[in-house]
Amino acid sequence: MSVGIIEGIAEATASTTPVFSGALSDYLGKRKPLTVMGYSLAAFSKILFPLAGSVGWVFTTRFIDRVGKGIRGAPRDALIGEIAPLRLRGASYGLRQSLATVGAFTGPLLAIMPMVLFAGDIRLEFWVAVIPGFIAVVILILGIKNPRFSPPTF
């Protein structure tokens, strides 16, 4: 029952947060800082999973992770729209979604290898899972330039 409550609240948070982060990124005129903040929150929350010793800690960690997901979604998609050439905008969104789907499928498959190597030590597995999140944040910070913002006209 705890897992259901934790996941329900976590996913509700991830579903509602983009409304606010999208509006804030429009207001600020900057997509990359919110995108970095969202991915960073998710990456840093991964550190708390192996340290969690109670359901309360797991709930807090999962909540922080999903806040990060919610914060990054809308600004990331707007950033893709701003940096992609107009003729490749649809393909850019499609590529992002395809890579997310491939990651959601292959991530758990790849997690099996360390579980076998570490003889089922789930805490050590969580520590290994921290690495890709931080790599993604570094790539985002160093590899993506924040485009000049042109406010929308209504």
Query: Which residue segments constitute the domains of the chain, with CATH numbers given?
Result: 2-143 (1.20.1250.20)
- pLDDT given for residue 152 in this prediction: 57
Hey, is 121 helix, strand or coil?
Answer: coil
Give the predicted TM-score (pTM) of the model. Answer: 0.86
Question: 102-117, pLDDT tens digit by residue?
Answer: 999 998 888 888 888 8
The helix or strand, by DSSP H or E, that contains position 97, with its residue range, turns out to be helix 89-117
Give backbone dihedrals phi and psi of 32, rounded to 5 degrees, phi first: -60, -45
- pLDDT given for residue 40 in this prediction: 96
Closest CA to 146 of 74, 76, 58: 76
State the average pLDDT for the chain: 89
**8 Å CB contact between 10 and 62:** yes
HEC string of 4-58 equals: HHHHHHHHHHHHHHHHHHHHHHHHHCCCHHHHHHHHHHHHHHHHHCCCCCCHHHH
- pLDDT given for residue 150 in this prediction: 60
Q: Which of 75-79, 99-103, 116-120 has the lowest mean pLDDT?
A: 116-120
